[in-house]
Amino acid sequence: MVAAVGLGMLFVAGCGSDDSPATQGDTATQGDTATQATTAAATSTAAQPSGTPGVFKVGEPVDNGGLTVTIASVETVPAVAVSDGTGGYGDRTAPEGQQFVVLDADIANGTTTPIDLSCGTTIGTRLLDTQKRQHNVIDDLESVQGNRPCGDQVAPGAGGEIRWVFEVPADAVPRLFAFLNEAGPDPTAVTVVDLSVS
């Protein structure tokens, strides 16, 4: 399962009032200090124009501690293809009142250690919708069609693809994606990608 540890504080960012984004430079540590620091530093990007410093766009390569993530596409769907346990795939329909947000991403591993995209803890992720609600990826990313099985690691200097799937309320509109590199030089540095369509 992809880690979301430390990201519980991440999108306190979406609860501010000045509509400026949390950026890669906004950091915190765990505990009360982290909550206070994140609350003070992080706010929503709802009114930010395109090109806001520290907030990246879909299609732009974004580096965080040697991991480069490029969100290739964002879509909201009622079902995703997952392993059926027999070598094939079948659709998993979102529960009533829910939908899936799917982010297809390319990852370049510029670190010195291998990473497990589907089940590792190196990349912590979070999705924020336009109502400032925070969402985690589904627990079984390795079952999503196109994703690597657990243990199939991306070596240093290599790249791979991941399909991050978030189960969200049916009225959710994706707004921001954020990730951190828990094995990076600053494991609390958060990088933000604006998912809104202009």
Share of the chain residues as helix, strand and coil, in percent rounded to the nearest 5: 10, 40, 50
Lookup result for tokens 């958060």 = 190
Q: Pinpoint the alpha helices (H) of 11-170.
A: 32-41
Nearest Cα to Cα of residue 9 among 26, 18, 167: 26
Q: Which CATH architecture has domain 10-83+90-194?
A: Sandwich (2.60)
Measure the CA–CA gap between 182 and 180, rounded to whole angstroms.
6
Q: Give 155's DSSP letter.
A: P
- The reply to whether the predicted model has a pTM over 0.75 is yes
Q: Which residues lie across from 53 on neighbouring strands?
A: none
Nearest Cα to Cα of residue 16 among 123, 176, 124, 135: 176
Where exactly are the structural domains of the chain? Answer: 10-83+90-194
Q: Which residues lie across from 62 on neighbouring strands?
A: 69
| pLDDT tens by residue, 55-87 | 999 999 999 999 999 999 999 999 999 999 999
Structure tokens at 139: 């627990």
| pLDDT tens by residue, 158-183 | 999 999 999 999 999 999 999 999 99
Low-confidence stretches of the chain (pLDDT < 70) are 1-53, 197-198
Q: Pinpoint the alpha helices (H) of the chain.
A: 32-41
